[in-house]
């Protein structure tokens, strides 16, 4: 029986806005993270500030936004109307204060809840807001949401607008770092969705004339598209689409300029409308999966007072485009039915190429239908959740689960019983699952999806992830490759990456694939233990603890005890995201690393090979310690 706990007036506490945000940050920005995932908290902070500048541009004020982001400092300057000087402090420090409650001023704003900049303020070590308005300026500075400097209004010759500078709180976002590719993608999306807007980011200009057409041109390899990108625009709606040679479906959906990474009602309506329109155009009831297979598309809508399913606005829940407007489903369906049907009638070459892609998908589906059924039966008989998968309790696709917990879900892909055993014993059973591979996976480069069903490991893995019919029902936010840091481990890592890039490229492009970074060395003496992830860290540790320190080289994950492993997959986990850059062509990438171009690959390996004797430290004593250690090992 529980101990008798006093429950009285003293048990009831009221938190001010700052305390509540800092105590429950997940309610306001989704998840924290360290910047290794594109939806980690530090990027949400940037987004919340930028959203206000974008809203000003949407209302017709300001055609330029200047952004400067260094290792830990963010500065955003827009040239909109500027916050009314008498309300500068209130707008960044009082919940439910802002201009977006006036629907006349912000008809189709990204957010209406007046929380964004307050969350940034509360979760920043340093936060500065400065408004320029009609020849005057007002500055206020905060630390962790506490007002530190309230300056008087002064004269200014600067153009109207708002400048915000902040430094994320390192005690909240532990070991955080901005990844440039994530920031550039984020900023490009703003440019694509706001024609005529110029964003200057760290000296680079971001500008788009053709909106979603430019977005798809950036996202797809033009050589792999089956027909030119279809780009259609209407009032409060824009779409772009094509089909490629890759597997899967790839969508980019937006609401009022907000990138809805988890889709929502507008994306569901769009996918449905594409199928319906194409069936009616060709006058044949093609299978929906054949129509959408290999599609790459983008949809953007603008609605009044959008309703999102979370504070971070990643999934739209609105059913209509406004209080007096039609349902979103009807709105999107009517537009696609008219605009896409007209386009296909006017562009017969595109219509023919689209039909060929559908017929190809149909043939491929029918070829594997028999083996697919058998493979699914084998997966059930294999008792997947007992033999291969040590599952967790919360899943990414569970709408009833806490959003913060869902965003923390991850599946570790391990090789061998010892490694999976260590992770299984030290993991967080709420959000971390483990899938154990048996031996080296098959090199599936150049193979058809038939091999996914023929190969037991691949088939069980896709069932564990629940991605057989696409990534909409993906069960884990992050798929983490956890292999040994040796030659065999690196090879297994490449083979797993090939599997995903070959058959589920949209999973990689959407930022779900990571590599677990585990320590290579443990350096310790009687007083201190240092875990080192690189040889440079090992050298510094030896220098710090002395030549007599004990040095252990972890040759495999199975050598790391569960007690130690818990430190490496907990709050301090280090993950390296798999990022596909704009210029990366998946077909060329796989061909070079996993194909048969042996001479070219040998030259690459020789040119990039580094061995321990080539590493020289500036401090001779560290080099001496390293040399003595290597001598003893020999």
> Residue 319 burial by CB count (10 A; 0-12/13-18/19+): exposed, middle or buried?
exposed
pLDDT of residue 555: 76
pLDDT of residue 592: 75
* 536-564: pLDDT as tens digits: 999 999 999 988 899 998 877 777 888 88
* Residue 305, token pair as written in the block: 């007072």
Contact (Cβ atoms closer than 8 angstroms) between residue 317 and residue 307: yes
For residues 587-594, give the mean pLDDT: 78
Output the CA–CA distances (angstroms, integers) from residue 367 to 371, 461, 478, 505, 513, in the order listed.
8, 21, 31, 22, 29
**CA-to-CA distance for 372 and 528, rounded, in angstroms?**
55
For residues 138-153, give the mean pLDDT: 94
At residue 15 the predicted structure's pLDDT band, cuts being 50, 70 and 90, is: low
Long-range contacts from 532-538, C-beta under 8 angstroms, 24+ separation: 533/574, 535/612, 535/615, 536/615, 536/617, 538/626
Cα angle for residues 20, 26, 29 (degrees, 5° grid): 100
Measuring CA to CA, which residue among 388, 422, 427, 426 is closest to residue 409?
A: 427
Q: Note the CATH architecture for domain 17-206.
A: 2-Layer Sandwich (3.30)
At residue 108 the predicted structure's pLDDT band, cuts being 50, 70 and 90, is: low
pLDDT of residue 113: 42
pLDDT of residue 618: 44
- Sign of the Cα pseudo-torsion (48, 49, 54, 60, in order): positive
Name the DSSP letter for residue 151.
Answer: P
Q: Is the pLDDT of residue 634 over 50?
A: no
Q: Is the pLDDT of residue 484 over 70?
A: yes
At residue 71 the predicted structure's pLDDT band, cuts being 50, 70 and 90, is: confident
Sequence-separated (6 or more) residues with CB below 8 Å from residue 380:
none
> For the chain, what are the domain ranges?
17-206, 212-364, 382-518+572-579
Torsion of CA 223, 228, 229, 230, to 10 degrees: -160
Q: Is the pLDDT of residue 173 over 60?
A: yes
At residue 609 the predicted structure's pLDDT band, cuts being 50, 70 and 90, is: low
Residue 410 three-state SS: strand
Contact (Cβ atoms closer than 8 angstroms) between residue 336 and residue 270: yes
pLDDT of residue 227: 95
For residues 240-254, give the mean pLDDT: 92
* 248-271: pLDDT as tens digits: 899 999 988 888 888 889 999 999
Instruction: Give the burial string for 538-565 (b: 16+ CB within 10 Å, else e).
Output: bbbbbbebeeebebbebebbbebeeebb
* Residue 253, token pair as written in the block: 């959906």
Q: Is the pLDDT of residue 472 over 90?
A: no
Greatest alpha-carbon pair distance for the chain in Å reads 80
What CATH class has 212-364?
alpha beta
**CA-to-CA distance for 295 and 361, rounded, in angstroms?**
11
Contact (Cβ atoms closer than 8 angstroms) between residue 91 and residue 98: yes
Considering the chain, what is the average pLDDT of its residues?
85
Q: Note the CATH architecture for domain 382-518+572-579.
A: 3-Layer(aba) Sandwich (3.40)
For residues 7-21, give the mean pLDDT: 65
For residues 557-574, give the mean pLDDT: 83
* 295-309: pLDDT as tens digits: 999 999 988 878 777
Sequence-separated (6 or more) residues with CB below 8 Å from residue 617:
536, 539, 623, 626
**CA-to-CA distance for 441 and 349, rounded, in angstroms?**
41
Sequence-separated (6 or more) residues with CB below 8 Å from residue 175:
34, 572, 574
Q: Is the pLDDT of residue 215 over 50?
A: yes
Q: Is the pLDDT of residue 310 over 70?
A: no
Which residue stretches of 146-283 are H helix? 180-192, 212-219, 265-282
More confident residue, 132 or 630: 132
How many residues make up the chain in this entry?
634
Q: What percent of the chain has pLDDT over 70?
A: 88
pLDDT of residue 109: 54
Measure the N-to-C terminal CA separation of the chain; round to a whole number of Å: 60
Most confident segment among 87-101, 289-303, 605-619:
289-303
DSSP β-bridge partners for residue 238: 233, 300
* Residue 173, token pair as written in the block: 């976002």
Q: Is the pLDDT of residue 615 over 50?
A: no
pLDDT of residue 11: 53
More confident residue, 578 or 562: 578
Most confident segment among 77-81, 368-372, 373-377, 465-469:
77-81
Contact (Cβ atoms closer than 8 angstroms) between residue 221 and residue 244: yes
Place of tokens 């996993």: 594
pTM of the entire structure?
Answer: 0.82
Q: Give the E-state strand segments of 110-236 in sequence order.
A: 124-133, 136-143, 146-150, 154-155, 161-168, 198-201, 204-206, 230-234
């Amino acid at each position: 029986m529980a101990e008798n706990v006093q429950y009285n007036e003293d048990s009831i506490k009221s938190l001010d806005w700052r305390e509540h945000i800092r105590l429950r940050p997940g309610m306001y920005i989704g998840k924290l993270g360290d910047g290794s995932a594109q939806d980690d908290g530090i990027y949400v902070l940037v987004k919340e500030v930028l959203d206000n500048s974008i809203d000003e541009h949407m209302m017709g004020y300001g055609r330029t936004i200047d952004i400067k982001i260094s290792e830990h400092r963010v500065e955003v300057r827009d040239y909109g109307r500027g916050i009314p000087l008498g309300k500068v402090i209130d707008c960044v420090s009082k919940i439910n204060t802002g201009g977006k409650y006036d629907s006349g001023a912000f008809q189709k704003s990204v957010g209406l809840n007046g929380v964004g900049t307050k969350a940034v303020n509360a979760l920043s070590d340093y936060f500065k807001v400065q408004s320029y308005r009609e020849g005057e300026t007002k500055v206020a500075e905060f630390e962790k949401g506490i007002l530190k400097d309230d300056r008087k209004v002064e004269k200014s010759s600067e153009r109207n607008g708002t400048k915000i500078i902040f430094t994320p709180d390192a005690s909240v976002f532990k070991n955080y770092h901005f990844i440039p590719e994530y920031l550039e993608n984020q900023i490009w999306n703003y440019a694509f969705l706001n024609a005529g807007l110029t964003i200057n980011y760290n000296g680079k200009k971001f500008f788009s004339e053709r909106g979603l057409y430019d977005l798809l041109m950036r996202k797809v390899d033009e050589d792999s598209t089956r027909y030119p990108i279809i780009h259609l625009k209407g009032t409060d709606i824009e779409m772009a689409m094509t089909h490629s040679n890759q597997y899967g479906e790839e969508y980019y959906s937006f609401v009022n300029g907000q990138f809805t990474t988890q889709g929502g009602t507008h994306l569901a309506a769009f996918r449905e409308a594409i199928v319906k329109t194409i069936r009616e155009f060709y006058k044949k009831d093609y299978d929906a999966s054949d129509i959408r297979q290999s599609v790459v598309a983008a949809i953007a809508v603008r609605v009044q007072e959008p309703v999102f399913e979370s504070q971070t606005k990643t999934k739209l829940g609105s059913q209509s485009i406004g209080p007096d407007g039609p349902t979103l489903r009807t709105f999107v369906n009517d537009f696609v039915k008219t605009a896409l049907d007209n386009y296909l009638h006017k562009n017969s070459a595109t219509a023919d190429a689209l039909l060929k892609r559908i017929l190809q998908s149909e043939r491929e589906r029918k070829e594997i239908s028999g083996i697919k059924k058998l493979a699914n039966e084998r997966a059930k008989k294999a008792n997947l959740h007992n033999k291969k998968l040590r599952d967790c309790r919360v899943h990414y696709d569970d709408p009833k689960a806490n959003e913060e917990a869902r965003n923390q879900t991850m599946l570790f892909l391990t090789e061998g019983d010892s490694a999976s055993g260590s992770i299984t014993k030290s993991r967080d059973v709420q959000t971390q699952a483990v899938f154990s591979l048996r031996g080296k996976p098959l090199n599936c480069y150049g193979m058809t999806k038939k091999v996914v069903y023929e190969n037991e490991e691949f088939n069980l893995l896709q069932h564990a992830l629940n991605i057989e019919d696409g990534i909409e029902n993906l069960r884990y936010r992050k798929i983490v490759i956890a292999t040994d840091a040796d030659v065999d481990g690196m090879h297994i890592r490449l083979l797993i990456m090939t599997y995903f890039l070959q058959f589920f490229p949209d999973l990689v492009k959407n930022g779900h694939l990571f590599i677990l970074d585990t320590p290579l060395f443990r350096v310790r003496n009687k007083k201190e233990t240092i875990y080192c992830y690189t040889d440079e860290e090992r050298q510094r540790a030896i220098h710090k603890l002395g030549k007599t320190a004990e040095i252990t080289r972890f040759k495999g994950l199975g050598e790391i005890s569960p007690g130690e492993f818990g430190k490496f997959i907990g709050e301090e986990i280090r993950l390296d995201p798999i990022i596909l850059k704009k210029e990366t062509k998946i077909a060329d990438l796989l061909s070079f690393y996993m194909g048969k171009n042996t001479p070219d690959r040998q030259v690459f390996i020789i040119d990039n090979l580094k061995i321990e004797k080539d590493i020289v430290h500036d401090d001779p004593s560290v080099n001496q310690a390293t040399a003595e250690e290597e001598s003893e090992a020999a």
